[in-house]
Structure 1
Amino acid sequence: MTKTYVIDGAEVTDLESFWRVIGEAVNGTGGYFGRNLDSFADCLRGGFGTPDDGDFVIEWRDHELSRRALGRDETVRRLRLRLERGHPLNRAAVQAELDEAEAGRGTTVFDWLAQIIEERKPGGLRLR
């Protein structure tokens, strides 16, 4: 039987709150299910609180609230942090992505998360 983990989109106000909300949805209060995009992708492969057989979906309720919270402003903020903290060899690519975001183009943090879920768990995301 497929296990469903529910995210309340109203609780997702930025990327940091997403990590808390998804961690608690999967593993209860204070639970962990990634704290960056790479670790989140790893968790989706299984073994971090999800069923051993990998039979689960993430149901993102009120996802439009999250889509707005994780939209352009949050994307610009995250890319600026990545630019500050990232490896010098990656700076040109991050700067180009930041320029696009500041111009109102390109993917958003919400898109990044949805894409990771779909790549690691095809069909594993239900937007409500």
Structure 2
Amino acid sequence: MAGDNVQLHASLVTSLHLSEVKKWSNVELKHCSELNMTYLCARDQQQELRCVLPLSASHVISIDMLSGGLGQLCGDIKSFILAVVDDDSTIAYYNIFKDIHPPDLPNRETRNYKQ
């Protein structure tokens, strides 16, 4: 239950920031039962529909969770916004796109090292 309160707090702080600071309209708080998370749908200043997933900075985030979240939350859209909310209400926004993959590790043999 405490995790639910933390995520709800992140959602409310993000909602206020989107509507009052960024001047987005029609900010709606929604719940995804498959992921057991709240998220926001809103229209940005260009009136494009955006989906925002607010999470606490202490929340453990994985590539699988992000790529799975896109389909569950937003249906057919190609991206959503991850809003990471710190304890002091600082928010960092990240655009998450469909088909996100972890980066390839560089091949040690092809690196150029100065000797």
Asked if these proteins are the same fold (TM beyond 0.5), I'd say no
Q: Greater strand share, 1 or 2?
A: 2
Superposition TM-score, scaled by structure 2 size: 0.32
Q: Greater helix share, 1 or 2?
A: 1
> Per chain length, whose mean CA-contact separation is higher, i.e. which structure has more relative contact order (CA < 8 Å, sep 6+)?
1
Superposition TM-score, scaled by structure 1 size: 0.30
Q: Which has the larger radius of gyration?
A: 2
